[in-house]
Structure 1
Amino acid sequence: MGFPGTWMTESESVVYRVVPKCACSTIGQILYYSDHGTFFDGDIHDAQNGLHKWALEASQPIITANVKTRSAYAFTCVRNPYTRILSSFFDKICGIQRNGKRYRGNLVPLLIQKYGIEVGDAPDFEFDQIRSFRRFLLFARDTIRWRRPMEPDIHWSGMSGHVGTFIVNGGLYNKIVWTETFDEGMQQVLDNIQTRHPVDLSAIPRFNESEGHGPKRAHPVEDYFDDMSMHLIKEMYGRDFDLFKYDFDNPGNKLPIGEIDLDEVHAKLGD
């Protein structure tokens, strides 16, 4: 299976397991900058050079050799499951993608037909966000639990699944960064590696490639989650809350409530 979703600097200073919707655009640009002293011109997900990626065939043996010998510092980044699934909804379901079209072609029409969601239209995107989001949660649960009407999308499949593939295939994490305390966690990563170019996190812009292409969230996070919604969230992401120490009982608290135990993560996701 190898190491899907894994990126590594060309200098092999650091290995990063991408978790979608968890600051991956910003992290990718930081890694690129640390080697080249400049940012990639465009969406870092589109970069075909300047960064080793598992999706690039030529990079696979280089990444494999490094991860198997654990030569480089390895990390990933996670996010509160409540805000992550909300971000996925507004970006991938309601938003217009970089190519000017809806995400995955017929996905949104399918959701409108089968689940009764609304997504609104530019420029105002007027619709009942809470009602539509809760219906989207039913769809997300169906994909994760029963893999119908399609396989779960990487943007709302559980973070544990993404993080775990790296461990199962022989990788070992040195650090798991929380998106919510990004600068602090990313600084610890940078403090543990040798970069070709110094990185000043305070001067790094946030690269949010999905921003501005859809509706803005109109309500506080907690307003989107009633008892049934929280039940669905627990069903989908219970392991994520436990391993990455987020507060399931309070959707309005995006901050972690404990320290991540890397030994526990490796033990539970390494099966």
Structure 2
Amino acid sequence: MGFPGTWMTESESMVYRVVPKCACSTIGQIMYRSDHGRFFDGDIHDAQQGLHKWGLEHSRAPIEANVTARRSLVFTCVRNPYGRILSSFFDKICGIQRNGRRYRGNLVPKLMEEYGVEVGDPETGFEFDQIRSFRRFLLFARDTIRFHKPMDPDIHWSAMSGHVSTLIRGGGRYDMILHTEDFETGMAAVLARAPLRHPVDPGAMPRYNESEGHGPRRAHPVEDFFDDLSMHLVREIYGRDFELFGYDIDDPSRRGPVRGIDLDAVHARLAA
């Protein structure tokens, strides 16, 4: 199985398991800057040098050796599932990607035809019923996750626990799991424990978000998007995420966690 989605600094100061839609671009840039004293020029997901990634053939042996020997600090970052699935909708379904196209080619037309999802048009200011379209997208996301129909789930809306579990099942162990909602504090704690070549202040750096300015702005509070049926669907597909990572499953308006993360419980639950 290996360690898919795992990044490591070239200096091996830290290891990070990517969880999409959980500040991964910002974390990757922090890792890159901590080694090289500068940010990567472009989207960090495109970097082929300067940062070890499991997807790069030359990086696999160093990552595997480090993680299995537990030589470096290992961490990941999670987010409230209500906010994460909503962000996935606005970024990946409604937004125009950095290549100037819709995400995954025919995905959006399929959603429009089979689920009645609307996404708006940049020429008309992305005007559409955001709440109705999101709820229809949520049905689609549930179908992909539970039934693998009409396609396999996309990494941006598949459960966080599934991403987090791969490193554990491969023999690794997390030293820290951060909450996106308290990102600066959590990331500062990671950096304080890692032997950095260059200091990084997570509170003074830009946020990296490829969808910024390329799609509609959310017009309503998070809780307005979730009626009883939508909350039921979220519980069905993300129940384990709420339980393991300390978020309130009953209140979509409560952005931050309601309790800390029990690392031993996470490892025990996700090891199987």
Question: What is the TM-score of this pair, normalised by structure 2?
Answer: 0.99
In the TM superposition, 1:28-107 aligns within 5 A as: 28-107=28-107
Aligned residues: 271
CA distance in 1, matches of 2:102, 2:210: 15
What corresponds to 1:237 in structure 2?
A: 238
What corresponds to 1:250 in structure 2?
A: 251
CA distance in 2, matches of 1:116, 1:183: 39
Give yes or no for the alignment of 1:17 onto 2:17. yes
Deviating above 3 A after TM superposition, structure 1's stretches of 4 or more consecutive aligned residues are: none
Report the CA distance between 1:121 and its aligned residue: 0.2
| Runs of 5+ consecutive residues of structure 1 not aligned to the other structure | none
Give yes or no for the alignment of 1:173 onto 2:174. yes
Question: What is the TM-score of this pair, normalised by structure 1?
Answer: 0.99
Contact 2:138 2:233 in 1 (8 A): yes
Report the CA distance between 1:200 and its aligned residue: 1.5
Report the CA distance between 1:203 and its aligned residue: 1.5
Report the CA distance between 1:201 and its aligned residue: 1.9
Aligned-partner residue type, residue 12 of structure 2: E
Report the CA distance between 1:85 and its aligned residue: 0.3
CA distance in 2, matches of 1:166, 1:231: 29
What corresponds to 2:114 in structure 1?
A: 114
Report the CA distance between 1:254 and its aligned residue: 0.6
Aligned-partner residue type, residue 238 of structure 1: G
Give yes or no for the alignment of 1:189 onto 2:170. no
Report the CA distance between 1:202 and its aligned residue: 2.2
**1:63-86 superposed Cα distances (whole Å, 9 cap, x missing partner):** 000000000000000000000000
Aligned-partner residue type, residue 234 of structure 1: R
Report the CA distance between 1:139 and its aligned residue: 0.2
Aligned-partner residue type, residue 203 of structure 1: A
What corresponds to 2:221 in structure 1?
A: 220
**1:194-237 superposed Cα distances (whole Å, 9 cap, x missing partner):** 10001122221111122111100000000000000000000010
CA distance in 2, matches of 1:208, 1:33: 17
Report the CA distance between 1:164 and its aligned residue: 0.3
Give the SS at the match of 2:30.
helix
Aligned residues: CA RMSD: 0.5
